[in-house]
Structure 1
Amino acid sequence: MVDNATYILTATCLSRLGTVDVITHFLYQQGCYIKDMHSFDDTACQQFFLRAAFCHDKGDAIDVEAFKSQLNERAKPFNMVWQLHEPDHIPKVLIMVSKYDHCLNDLLYRYRTGHLNIEIPAIISNHPDLKGLAEWHQIPYYHFPITAETKPQQEAKVWEVIQQTQAELVVLARYMQVLSSAMCDKLNGWAINIHHSLLPGFKGAKPYHQAFAKGVKLVGATAHYVSNALDEGPIITQGVETVDHTHYPAELAEKGKDIECLTLARAVKYHCENRVFLHHNKTVVFPD
């Protein structure tokens, strides 16, 4: 086999005999070598999911249009919904942030070093504080202040930038504003939020002080898709670490920040590598 660019094929359909064969036999006939494959059959609702990473066995370029046309005919009897993701495509990820910079800093570092294979066309904030960080990375920074009265106008500006940059994913890297129902609907399935996993137990101000007062023994973070149910969208990934009585609120918060960074970066990576399937109000996530 000649090493070649990797294509990703994702597919889902109702569970039935031959679902794996539809993909694997077709790729064999196309002269393609499967480098990695994951599948999952949800027996509770009879839904099948598959992700295959492959390249051409001889290193030849794949005729994408012919490939799609032929696979469409093969998959039609199964009512299979599928997507082919080409290797030269780099997802455009727009980041929204307020004043906390730890998640933004982490994403920018992973972007700069190539650990996240993404493009960041813009950073949007409701505060001016992190403009210098964006400028150092040569990324356009949009400061759109917001109040309860100006929320519709502010979100209209945000949506305009999202459209202008052709962003394919929006990441709320500690953007401390609640998106409107209309904005959540627009971003359904392609906006990721991060928050501490003390929710719903310790809501509101100073959650780590509340947690300290209760003597918690675990802190963590949850990355999920944005939805109209505040902080309750489909979960992509979570992180957790143990703590004990020696961790005061400031130390709990610092540990929480570290976990938020790792958890958010993992969620962005999984989404951009087409490892996540939305499945009702939850997700199917294939590991790397």
Structure 2
Amino acid sequence: MTSLILTLTCPDKPGIVAALSSILAENGFNITESQQYSDMEHNRFFMRVACDGLLPQADLEAMLAPIRGAFNMQLQLYPADARLRVLILVSKFDHCLIDLIYRQQNGSLNMDIAAIASNHEIGRQWADNAQLPYHALGGKEAKAENEAKLTALIDRENIDLIVLARYMQVLTAEFVDRYGAQIINIHHSFLPSFKGAEPYSQAHARGVKLIGATAHFVTAELDEGPIITQGVEPVRHDMSVGAFIDVGRDTERRALARAVRLYTERRVFLNGGKTVIFD
């Protein structure tokens, strides 16, 4: 049995679903899950399909070639059980890293952590505990050296996804241009509010009643990338900044883990400055 996930984007027009489903049916594939979205404003169509059949993936790829051209599709097929290789970058706050390691170990995320890299030694103990490769990075003055090291690591280890699990170094535009659609960051506020440093202090000073976290793709503009997931929690007027941080860290963990799950299950589609999420 061949179990596959198919993703596609293309200009919206009549006949896309009919053409795809006909090819799948004619080749003995059963559709087990299907979601689609038409962006009327930008005339874009998005679709994710899970299907089972007996035909090898390469053969189905060949059968789909005619509709690729006819509809100008960006169409990809993935084995449903394929696990993504993930690089986690972390600085001195380790709560998101610990959570991702735990979720990989209990099988709730469809990924393998290929390596952990950090500019603080706190990341090493968790890598060692989980028997995962660890790579030490320098501080912000070593940015060029760090990114050269990361680029070599990403290429050597065939990394599919880079997770900034509270990695506090700003990446260069060149690095982001190369890997941006593969980089997910967790920002400790409900974007677009309270960008930049110390968002919990900013939120506390404004007397907010909800604090949040945002997982987003990384772009050259700080904290401006397409949003994947967000989470919020209520806070009270009598809570300190420290209490805000404690609540916020739980929210960060959950928002980042959900974003990683969606990405590894091929449920995230870029749509300009936004995302389409099939969940």
For Structure 1 versus Structure 2, the TM-score category normalised by the shorter chain is over 0.9
Cα distance in structure 1, aligned partners of 2:48 and 2:100:
25
Q: Which among 140, 162, 172 is matched to residue 164 of structure 2?
A: 172
Identify unmatched segments of 5+ residues in structure 1: none
Matched, 1:33 2:26: no
Q: What TM-score do you get using the length of structure 1 for normalisation?
A: 0.93
Maintained 8 Å contact 2:191/2:213: no
> Relative to 1, partners in 2 of residues 1:25 and 1:109: Cα closer, same or farther, differing over 3 Å?
same
Q: Note if contact 1:198-1:207 (Cα within 8 Å) is conserved in structure 2.
A: no
Match of 1:220 in 2: 212
Aligned equivalent of 2:254: 262
Q: Please tell me the residue identity of whatever aligns with 2:69.
A: K
Are the aligned partners of 1:223 and 1:237 in contact in 2 as well (CA < 8 Å)? yes
Q: Please list every run of 5 or more consecutive structure 2 residues that lacks an aligned counterpart in the other structure.
A: none
C-alpha change, 1:52 and 1:245, in structure 2 (3 Å) is: same
Query: What is aligned with 1:119?
Result: 112
- Residue identity in the other structure for 2:247: K
In the alignment, the residues of structure 2 paired with residue 80 and residue 199 of structure 1 have an alpha-carbon distance, to the nearest angstrom, of 32
Identity %: 44
Assess if the C-alpha contact under 8 Å between 1:103 and 1:260 holds in 2.
yes
Separation (CA, whole Å) in 1 of partners of 2:198 and 2:45: 43
2:139 paired with 1:146 = yes
What TM-score does the superposition give when structure 2 sets the normalisation length?
A: 0.96
Equivalent residues in 2 for 1:131-280 (5 A)?
131-148=124-141, 150-198=142-190, 201-203=193-195, 205-280=197-272
What is the rounded CA distance, in whole Å, between the counterparts of 1:236 and 1:205 in structure 2?
21
Cα distance between partner residues in 2 of 1:204 and 1:284: 25
Q: CA deviation at 1:199?
A: 5.0
Query: Bigger shift: 70-79 or 171-180?
Result: 70-79
Q: CA RMSD in A?
A: 1.5
Question: Does the CA-based 8 Å contact 1:36-1:53 persist in structure 2?
Answer: yes
Whole-angstrom CA distance in 2 between matches of 1:80 and 1:202: 38
One of 32, 41, 44 as aligned partner of 1:44? 41
1:64 positional shift:
1.7
Q: Is the 8 A contact 2:89 2:118 kept in 1?
A: yes
SS at 1:92's partner residue? Answer: strand
> Aligned equivalents of 2:2 and 2:108: distance in 1?
18
Secondary structure of 2:89's counterpart equals: strand
